[in-house]
Amino acid sequence: MKYFRSILLAFLVGSFLPSLSQELVDKEELIKDLNYLASDELGGRGNGSEGNEKAREFIADRFEGLALTPLQDQYFQPFSFTTRAGSKQGVNVIGCIKGASEKKIIITAHYDHLGIRGDKTFNGADDNASGVAGILAIARYYSINKPNNTLIFIAFDAEEMGLQGARHFVKNLPFKKTEILLNVNLDMVGRDDNNRIFASGGSHYPHLRSVLEKIKEKAPVTLMMGNDQPSDGHNDWTLSSDHGPFHQKGIPFIYFGVEDHPDYHKDTDTADKIKPAFFQSTVTTILQTVDEIDQTIR
């Protein structure tokens, strides 16, 4: 009986533990959210379009369903910006989960993409329906498992027009900069032929690099570091997405994203190309990272 029990225990430890950590993120829900955001109905979520508005209504409904609190009086943060074509409007979506500490971890993903151009719909499944579905999964986890720090989830608008939503937020910080531990930004986390996800930012912020080294050991996906120094040339991603304005203001960041693929910024970046198991693994890895930071960094 004892022998049997130890075999049973070995079996349980060997086979169930990895899947338990996978279950931090509900794969069905993750894919369902991505499929909706990347659907033709949302028309590629171009800034100022009806599909873009539908996307942000969906995100706000989801925040409400998870009992996230608005930062001010509502989830929406409207802003204006100027392009060569004139003045434009955008809307960020912001929801919070309060922790015991006033310190904040800001978890972000842009929800806009390129919209419809000519007769082509740029669905932006990986860029960046994946990141938005990812932050919703992380919000879902922390709506049940309360964090130590206050978590602020932001779906940014107008990233594709020059990181406009992030620029507006950072320029008009609604709290002290010193209260922010870091920005964790997700942009393209749903597919990679080599099953690798990059976590950039560690070269700028060594205290985050040691967190990533630890996560690398247990991550259910190959976690790569780098792509964040001038010597990386065009692969220096320091200012490539919404974490850029945070970094420029001296706020630490970790950016999670895959290397560019052939469908990057093409109308072929569609939901059927997403790799569900990889996607679930990357979001799990990001959640493990946020949790490690929430537990250890003050």
Applying CB under 5 A, which residues contact Zn ion? 127-128, 187
Least CB distance to Zn ion at residue 113 (A): 7
By DSSP bridging, strand 76-83 and strand 86-97 are: antiparallel
Least CB distance to Zn ion at residue 216 (A): 24
**272 CB contacts (<8 Å, ≥6 apart)?**
none
Q: Please, which residue, 65 or 162, has the CB nearer to Zn ion?
A: 162
Q: Please, which residue, 24 or 129, has the CB nearer to Zn ion?
A: 129
Least CB distance to Zn ion at residue 110 (A): 6
Q: Please, which residue, 185 or 288, has the CB nearer to Zn ion?
A: 185
Q: Which amino acid is at 218?
A: K
Three-state DSSP at 92 gives strand
DSSP string over 190-252? S--TT-EEEEE-TTT-HHHHHHHHHHHHH-SSEEEE---SGGGGGG--TTSSTHHHHHHTT--
How would you label 272-284 residue by residue, b for 16+ Cβ within 10 Å and e otherwise? ebbeeebbbbbbb
Going from the C-alpha of 246 to that of each of 243, 251, 261, the distances in angstroms are 5, 5, 26
Q: Please, which residue, 77 or 128, has the CB nearer to Zn ion?
A: 128
Least CB distance to Zn ion at residue 128 (A): 4
| Six-digit token string for 109 | 């993903």
Least CB distance to Zn ion at residue 127 (A): 4
Q: Please, which residue, 128 or 284, has the CB nearer to Zn ion?
A: 128
